Every structure is written in C-alpha cells, then in structure tokens.
Amino acid sequence: MVIAVRSRLTKTELSVLGQEKAQRAVDFITSLKHVTGKWAGKPFRLLPWQEKIVRDVFGTLRPDGFRQFREVYIEVPKKNGKSEFGSAIALYLLFWDNEARARVYSAAADKKQAGIVFDVAAEMVNQELALLERGKVIDSVKRIVNYENAGWYDVLSSEAFSKHGYNVSGVIFDELHAQPNRELFDVLTTGSGAAREQPLFAYLTTAGVDRNSICWEVHEKARQILNGSRNDPEFYPVIYALEDDDDWTDEANWYRVNPSLGEIIKIADLRHDFHEAEINLAEENLFRQLRLDQWVASSIRWMRMSDWDKACGKYKAADLKGRKCYAGLDLSSTLDLTALAYVFPPVEKGEPYKSILRFWIPEDTMRQKEKRDRVPYSKWVKAGWLKATPGNVIDYKYIISQLEADATEFEIAEVAYDPWGASKIAQDLDEKGFTMVEERQGFKTLSPPMKDLMNFILSEPRQFEHSGNPVLRWNVDNTYAKQDEAGNQKPDKKKSTQRIDGTVALIMGLDRAIRHSGDHKRSAYEDEVFTIG
C-alpha cells in the first residue's frame, strides 16, 4: 500500500492520513514475530505503552503529510523490551516506510551491543516469508537488504565507523547512556538526514551514571519538554524513571516506572534484585539505575563495615604456614602507604578464602601523616600491623626482603602488580624467582574479583575471611566503587580521598587465587594480564 501525500492537507485530511499511517505501522510491527523467551515464534504484541509510541510517532504529521517527529527518546528500565521494540521499528523503516534507498542503522557503544538489535531484527526477517521475498539477511557483514527500495540496514558502533557519507533515513541508538563520547551520535544526527523528508532518530536507553554525557544532555532535553519548560515539536520524549527523591524501596514506584511489569518482567525478579540491593551498597546503585531508571552517582561507598567486621576470622599468619597463596602488590605511592596482600585459596571443601596483609609507611613523615589522615599509624606500627621504613619514601628493598621472608613460610604462586611505575621492582622480583603478573587497573580486570569479594563476604556460609588487620579495615572503609555504564566496578582512587592501597592489593590477590582455584571459570584471555619471565 502506498499512501499519497499532497503538498498541504486540511486538518481533517491530516487526521485521517495520520490514523492510516499509525495503523500501517502498528499492523506491520504486529505482523512480525517475537524471537526470544516464551514468546518466541508468536506474533509481536505491542504493549500499551509501546503502541502509544508507535501511533504518536508514525501518526503525528506535518501539514505536508510527512512525520512531525524527527527524534524519539525512550528511557525505560532494562528488561522492558526496548531492544526488541527497536528492532521492529528498524524493520518498519527499512521495508514499509515508503523510503527510496532507505539507510537504517543500529548504533551502540560497542559491536556487541550494536549487534543486539540487529540480531533480533535478522531473526524477525528470517521468520517472515513476506520480508524474505523482498530482501535478505547477510550475517557476515551484519546487513539486511531490501531489494524493492534498494535499501539496507547496517550495524555501527563507536569502536569503528567512518565519519562521513551517511544519508540516514533511520537510526536506532541502543543504550545511548553507554556511548563513550558524542562523536558517533553527532556524525549520525547532525545533517546526515538532510536529504530525507522524514528521517527518524530513535534513542533507546536506560538511565546512566555520567551527567556530562550525550545521553544526559538528551535526557535533560526530554525531561524539560515533558515538564513544559522547553519546546521542540520534532522531539518525542518518553521517560519512565524515578526522580532523585522518590522512594526506591516502594513497590508502587516499581510498577510506575516499569511499564512492562507483569507482562515481560516478573515482580518476583524485581524483589530478588531488591533483596540483593538491600545488603550490598554497589548492588543498590545498580538496582536503582537499571531496574528503576534512576540516574545515580558513578561512585558509591563500597562496603558496609558491619559486613566487613563479620568476616573477621580467628587465625594468624603462622596458622597458614606451608599453604599456597597468591599475592597482590599495590605500589601506588612510595610517599604514603604501600600494601602487599596474600590470598590463600581453600584447601578443604567449605573453607573460606583467607588473607594476610603487609603494609609499609615512610618513618620520617609518619607523624605528619598521622595528623593529616587522623589515623593511628604509630599505634599500628607498635602493634605490628604496619611497618615504618627509614627515610621519607619507601625503599623497595624492604618489600623485596619481606616477600623473600614470606616465601620461606608460604608457597607464593604469583605476585600480581599494577605495571604503572612498578617495572623495576617487578624485574627485581622476577630475577629472584617470583612469578610476576601484570594486572591492569581497569574495569575489565578488577570488576570480577571486586564483585567476588563482596559476594564472598555476604554469602552464607561465608566464603572469605580476613585477619582483622585495622589498616586494611581503614582502607576498606575508605573505598568507593566506581561504576561504568555496563555495571562493572573498580576502586575509585579519585573519590576515595584517603588510602585504599590494601583494598586494591587484596582484590588483585583474590583475582589470581580465583583464576587458579576453579571456583570461577574465566578465560585466560578475558582480562589484560601478562606474565613476566
């Protein structure tokens, strides 16, 4: 069916045509089939909130009969079906929008995310004979072609794209909050659809954590249009989100911001995630961001000290003599605190991981730092929890000497270290026979063991114990967890204004211990780690 458009329509004609175009879009989308979960193979059923968007966007017209809305911003918590909804819209723009040489793109922060919408769309096409008669899915290059209008649908990511030459008829920006910068967004939205009568840019996202991002910029525009403080007749805003001061523990609010709750989302799943959030500060942030679409801070205090204190074990270093361990060495500053953590894997079923920490501080500046940091360094030195080294910086020879002494007591399998600024001591230790492993300090490397440590402490029975070192307790209490857009975590050294060296060393040591214990099956190539020697 081809709908003719005259140069200018009366209000009555415009209303009739708008209803026809809206119904045309609804009919196309509901002719597709779902591809995942219990709905796989069944007709695509638009939920009420989705159908309203389709009818408004495709049925609201300018006087010339073309679409009024150029941009659509849909911000909704995860698992509400936005990616599959985006796939259906992309296929409508490619096959049924009466657009000659249609150019439709799925765009996202990385190739994997960009492929999610495409893969769903490709499966929808493969299930629909009427579409296969008009086009073809080319999986090898992530492209769907429509032979009837010489159009295609491609996948783009921020990792790899050319900067010019996009004559866009439609873009589905999936998880806009995860864009590392605004470059891809600007390339695809600024002037790229100028040759089209009605290009459509659809931004589908959950809330993010970066209020300096392109997503926050678009979010604020949408919010202001919704509250009437801003006007843009070509921008269609949809936000299902909690405000900053809304009660995130109230189930009534969960229903308010999850329009698919009871249909796609089960309340039991939300309650499960809520329970995890109640006992884990980091999970609270994730629950509020991903499940309630609340823009949260990128850094939060990591550990409740009541939970940490409960994980204190009744053992000393001498009790672990002869045991295999994995070390984490944090040399972030020779002017302040340096930490060495030993993590001992279980030797019996049901036994927790155990840890021993060593700390050093320069003796000449200790008193000054004691006043500055307001912590009892000298008391900790007297008690043996901390060692003061001569001079105003920590000489690495004391660390090497300690490792050599400990190697006579424990079987030190590996020593993980941050390669930044530590190449000399790593080389010295390597020459002395220690297996040195570089451990990058990014999300990819530190997030798994950081989450593991939290889970081990909160689990019943407990899977991790520490020896009650007060220096480590202070470090843990100082630690803030920085969260990226994907929910990965790492210690935030900028936000954590006091020392967290022991926390970082412990996380690195635990990472190496877990890799070799078989508890968590991780690929040897998953993270950026390298062995010296």
Looking at the domain assignment, is residue 98 inside a domain?
A: yes
Looking at the domain assignment, is residue 28 inside a domain?
A: no
Residues 320 and 287 in one domain: no
Cα torsion for 443, 449, 450, 454, to the nearest 10°? 150
**Where residue 472 sits, what CATH number does that domain have?**
3.30.420.240
Residues 104 and 151 in one domain: yes
Residues 345 and 214 in one domain: no
Rounded to 5 degrees, what are φ and ψ at 358?
Answer: -120, 140
Looking at the domain assignment, is residue 99 inside a domain?
A: yes
288 lies in which domain range?
251-297
- Distance between CA atoms of residues 413 and 264, nearest Å: 48
Q: Which of 217, 239, 261 is the last residue of a domain?
A: 239
Q: Is residue 471 a contact partner of residue 336, using CB atoms and an 8 Å limit?
A: no
Each residue's pLDDT expressed in tens, for the chain with a length of 533 residues: 333 344 688 989 999 999 999 999 999 999 999 998 888 899 999 999 999 999 999 999 999 999 999 999 999 999 999 989 999 999 999 999 999 999 999 998 888 888 888 999 999 999 999 999 999 999 999 999 999 999 999 998 877 666 666 889 999 999 999 998 888 998 898 877 778 999 999 999 999 988 778 998 999 899 889 988 788 999 999 999 998 778 999 999 999 999 999 999 999 999 999 998 888 777 888 899 999 999 887 777 788 888 899 999 989 999 999 999 999 999 866 677 899 999 999 998 889 999 999 999 999 888 888 877 778 899 999 999 999 999 988 888 999 999 999 999 999 999 998 888 777 888 999 999 999 998 888 888 899 999 999 999 998 899 999 999 999 998 998 888 888 877 788 988 877 667 899 999 999 999 999 998 865 444 333 333 333 43
Residue 515: helix, strand or coil by DSSP? helix
Integer angstrom CA distances of residue 3 from 6, 17, 124, 268, 296:
10, 8, 25, 46, 46
45: Cβ–Cβ under 8 A, 6 or more apart, which residues? 30, 34, 39
Looking at the domain assignment, is residue 343 inside a domain?
A: yes
Residues 336 and 441 in one domain: yes
- Distance between CA atoms of residues 341 and 510, nearest Å: 9
Q: Is residue 306 a contact partner of residue 391, using CB atoms and an 8 Å limit?
A: no
Residues 150 and 232 in one domain: yes
Looking at the domain assignment, is residue 201 inside a domain?
A: yes
Cα torsion for 38, 40, 42, 45, to the nearest 10°? 80
Q: Which of 196, 214, 239 is the last residue of a domain?
A: 239
Residues 348 and 230 in one domain: no
Residues 441 and 340 in one domain: yes
- Distance between CA atoms of residues 191 and 322, nearest Å: 68
Q: Is residue 98 a contact partner of residue 262, using CB atoms and an 8 Å limit?
A: no
- Nearest of 38, 121, 30, 86 to residue 206 by alpha carbon: 86
Q: How many domains does the chain have?
A: 3
Q: Is residue 337 a contact partner of residue 501, using CB atoms and an 8 Å limit?
A: yes
- Nearest of 225, 153, 168 to residue 198 by alpha carbon: 168
Q: Count other Cβ atoms within 10 Å, centred on residue 299.
A: 18
Residues 513 and 404 in one domain: yes
